[in-house]
A and B are shown apart, each in its own frame.
Chain A
Amino acid sequence: MEISLTSDGRPVGYKIELDENDSFCFTIGEGDGWTIPIDCPLQLNKDFEGKDFDTYLLTSPKVKENNAGQVFCKERRIGWIIPALSLASNLHDFSGNEHFLKYAYIALRDCIRAKTIHDWRRAIEVSGRESLTVLDLFDESKAFLVVSRETLDSPKDFELQRAVASLVSCGFMPASEGDEDRYNLIEPHPEFKKYKILVTSEDIGEYLVIYSLLKSYLESGESPVLRFFYLYQIMEMLLEKVFSCEQVQLAREIVEAGSDLVKVKDILEKVNKYTSEKKRMSLLIEEYTGIPPYFGSLIDACNDLLDQLYLDSGQSLNNCLYPVRNFVFHRYRALPESSDATLEEINLALADVLSHLLSAFKEKSTGRDPDPGSG
């Protein structure tokens, strides 16, 4: 991340310092340089100075000033999400919250010092400016995820690239250049002012692929079918994982069966069964994520669409999401425009479900128990 300052269009060097009021300021030039304070109406608390934090820059076009919240990962509070709007105001619910003010200090410190971890640049013209605000540095769609390293047992407990799916379902995306208008994200909705973030299982890997697909999903504007297509690619990736795990297991069984042709025949029948996407979807839910079904919203939305299309509804994911998938991929030409809204509801529910599936996924061959903190 980079913040550059210009005066009358020409770049100027600067330092970040604290002024006599203990406020952050840019000091421009050497010697008798001039200082430009950064106005912040909050009574920031510096108690966390010297401790270890990672600050990430996020984008959320629909974020509101009152959308700050604590971040929980695996039942443990690891930090806060703080919108730039919240740093520029003392009218929200958190302006007197001691913990918020400590994290807000870190967020402001790190974002001014361009220590957030992302590829993002901003140039600010300072000629004639008596002061700056946070919203001069970051537009209203920006938010800061501040994670305390001390709350993590290991760095792997939270890595941004593994949290992208969950962040998207919470209404955020890691920031990138010019993203203010690009992403069609939902409005953040912290439950009881808390964000529960799930991290993608290490058994999945493929973090860049997931990030890329989610980016495409968000950049698909208002097209529900395109958004569904990109999201379902993530589901396809999970199903492929299931298939490859089952293949490994089946190959092992064939070897163990040796010359027992009856056993081999049974095993080959299983192979046939597992090529069915519907079957793999069942396996994914029942054996690879190890959590009871909780897909109420997704099932309801899928059944709404199936009803509109005069197709049979179902009560499990493979009996309702799979038919929707088939219709969209093979008979899109017959999808009425009036069903767009329902398809978009499916997209929103699917994005949420996928974040849970990605987090809970465990390969059977590892012998590890499913992640108890997921879902």
Chain B
Amino acid sequence: MKAVSCLRDARINAYNVLFEISIGDYKDLVENVLKKNVFQRKRVRSSKTVYSLLRDDLQKQCVIPPVVLALTTDFYNSREDDLRVFEKALEKDRESLVILDGLQRTYTILDLLQDLGDGGEFGILSEVMASKIRMEIYFGINRLGILYRMLTLNTGQTPMSLRQQIEILYLDYLDKAPFGVQLIRESEGRAASGVDQYNFKDIVEGFNAYLDRDELPIDKSDILENINSLERLSKENQSTDLFEKYLEAFSCFIRRVHEEAPDASLSHDYLEQNFSPFGKTLLQVFKKPQAMSGFGAAVGKLIDFQIVEGFDSVIQDIEKIEIDNPEEFLEDINQSLNWLKNNAKKIGNAQRSYFSFFFRDLLNPEGDSYLKMPSASKDALRKYQGQNM
């Protein structure tokens, strides 16, 4: 493996280094990346013709377009002409690689090597393993930059949804615990029942809603729309990681609600009349993906309209929230959500829209329901009904 060229990508403030690598070394480099990364996109089948042609061409030692990867660890290099620095960084942090472009080609290569080995075609196998491919690796790229590159590089090919890409980017937060928050993967089979525990998938959905300014769970594969979202956001995301900020703000809200109403729950009388409420406690209400998406979309829109400056000002506002009568508020919000369940065409979408209205009213200093949760709840339902009924 040899670094042969380095170019600075000023658009995303990262180094793009071109390597030549044998297919055998490439296999060793990426196999673990694919295995350990449970969020790496699954392989999909497109026309058999295209990838079977590639298999044939690889055996004939064709030159394929460079695959593109990124190293997600921090990187600093004052001497960009010293290519050995990049080679050493790659060796050291090879576990932190992410494939930006060429995932299906990578699967095709690995399948081919497997099949040749299984078929006992060792002569062809060693020729293929020795033949060279090029790979571009981005060093010093931040997460948003990776996302931007993934989108632009994937144009025209089988699209990856924005949510899938966000999941890939932020999966290492599963091991970290920023702000004392624990993110739990679905496959762990645990409930995120603690105040500071969240389902990773739900948080990603909420952050996606912030990026899109849209609370609805549409898996957008529209490249231009996603790029436009990122264009706007790159202006925001200079030195801070927006995902962390979103997480901090939402967990701050949950903690505030818990402080104000640690014991509030629906009464027996209420539960006798309403068998399946949305949430029996305020935490159960707000720790759902619908609320997280509504929060993300609402904050995004408030920022776009320049009503709030950013997550930091939202956090300051959240800390001022008080709930005078938590039980009454809890019943009221459940009644609103119950109305939505019985009257909306798609319940989940209606709930998301409701929460988006709720948080917009709650966090809008210019509104009548600013920091008043009962009032924000009533207004949210009225606005939903006004728009949809």
Contact = CB atoms under 8 A, between A and B. Distances in A.
Nearest to A96: B276
Contact of B347 (A29, A63, A65, A127): A65
A8 interface: yes
B47 A7 contact: yes
Nearest to B276: A93
Interface stretch (B90-98, B321-329, B336-344): B336-344
Contacts of B140: none
B254 to A, nearest CB: 21
Contacts of A129: 44
A64 B46 contact: no
A93 B345 contact: no
B383 interface: no
A130 B42 contact: yes
B114 interface: no
Nearest to A140: B345
A29 B44 CA distance: 14
A372 interface: no
A93 B348 CA distance: 13
A187 to B, nearest CB: 10
A66 interface: yes
Interface string A1-21: 000000110000000000000
A63 B345 CA distance: 7
Interface stretch (A84-92, A304-312, A341-349): A84-92
Interface in B168-222: none
A128 B345 contact: no
B346 A8 contact: no
Nearest to A86: B347
Interface string A45-85: 00000000000000000011110000000000000000001
Contact of A7 (B46, B159, B341, B351): B46
Given A34-B45, A127-B47, A128-B158, A89 B346 contact: yes
Contacts of A63: 345
Contacts, number: 46
A140 B344 CA distance: 13
In this complex, the member of B44, B45, B341, B344 whose beta carbon has the largest number of chain A beta carbons within 10 angstroms is B45
Interface in A227-282: none
Contacts of A29: 48
Given A65-B344, A96-B276, A91 B45 contact: no
A15 to B, nearest CB: 15
Contacts of A140: 345-346
B342 A66 contact: yes
A92 B44 contact: no
Nearest to A7: B47
Contacts of B48: 29
A246 B159 CA distance: 70
Q: Is the interface of A mostly helix, strand, loop or mixed?
A: loop
Which has the most chain B C-beta neighbours within 10 Å: A34, A65, A89?
A65
A91 B46 contact: no
A93 B341 contact: yes
Which of B48, B276, B347, B348 is the most central at the interface, judged by chain A CB atoms within 10 Å of its CB?
Answer: B347
A29 to B, nearest CB: 8
Nearest to A95: B276
Interface in B332-374: 341-348, 351
A85 B345 contact: yes
Given A91-B351, A93-B276, A93-B341, A85 B46 contact: no
Contacts of B347: 65-66, 89, 91-92
Nearest to B221: A128
A66 B65 CA distance: 51
Contacts of A64: 343-345
Contacts of B348: 89, 91
Contacts of B344: 64-65
B137 to A, nearest CB: 26
B345 A65 contact: yes
Most chain A beta-carbon neighbours within 10 Å: one of B42, B346, B351: B346
A8 B44 contact: no
Contacts of B276: 93, 96
A315 to B, nearest CB: 35
B342 to A, nearest CB: 6
Interface string A130-153: 100000000010000000000000
A128 B42 CA distance: 10
Contacts of B46: 7-8, 127-128
Contacts of B47: 7-8, 127
Contacts of B42: 130
B207 to A, nearest CB: 21
Contacts of B342: 66
Nearest to B158: A128
Interface in B16-61: 42, 44-48
A148 to B, nearest CB: 25
A128 B346 contact: no
Nearest to B104: A128
A173 to B, nearest CB: 18
Interface string B267-285: 0000000001000000000
A78 B352 CA distance: 36
A315 B63 CA distance: 89
Nearest to B46: A127
B373 to A, nearest CB: 22
A128 B48 CA distance: 11
A127 B157 CA distance: 11
B158 A91 contact: no
Given A7-B47, A93-B341, A127-B45, 15 more contacts: A7-B45, A7-B46, A8-B46, A28-B45, A63-B345, A65-B344, A65-B345, A66-B347, A89-B348, A91-B351, A93-B276, A127-B46, A128-B44, A128-B158, A140-B346
Interface of A: 7-8, 28-29, 34, 63-66, 85, 89, 91-93, 96, 127-130, 140
Q: Which 4 A-B pairs have the closest CB atoms?
A: A128-B158, A34-B45, A91-B347, A8-B47
13 contacts: A7-B47, A34-B45, A65-B344, A85-B345, A85-B346, A89-B348, A92-B341, A96-B276, A127-B47, A128-B46, A128-B158, A130-B44, A140-B346
